[in-house]
Amino acid sequence: MGAGRRQHHAQQEAMRAANAEANRFQAMMKAQEEANLKLAAALKPDLSAFEKDQPRTISSTGANVRTARSARKTTTGVSKGLASLRIPLNVGGTTGSGLNIG
């Protein structure tokens, strides 16, 4: 019966040591988390210089902001622009002298 008792006491001592190690690890992780939070707070930029009552550098009308256009409007706009040049395209008919593309 002596060997069984020694084995039981060894198991109990191993459990106590494992619990103590787990508690130390948990305390270390908590301290590290607090240190990380302090570091994050120290590195956080000071935004007090950018308060809302500062004058804006861009007008409220949205200067130079292009509105969204559909693909159809874009292509029709391009074709209208080219059509407004009114350059006749000679493709080599009976009276012309060949292509004038170039």
Highest-scoring range by mean pLDDT, 15-19, 55-59, 80-84: 15-19
Q: What is the pLDDT of residues 68-98, one digit of tens each?
A: 666 666 666 555 655 555 566 666 566 656 5
**Residue entry with tokens 């508690």:** 23
Distance between CA 75 and CA 14 in Å, rounded?
Answer: 79
Q: Which helix (H) or strand (E) holds 78?
A: helix 71-83
And the tokens for 89?
């395209």
Distance between CA 70 and CA 33 in Å, rounded?
Answer: 51
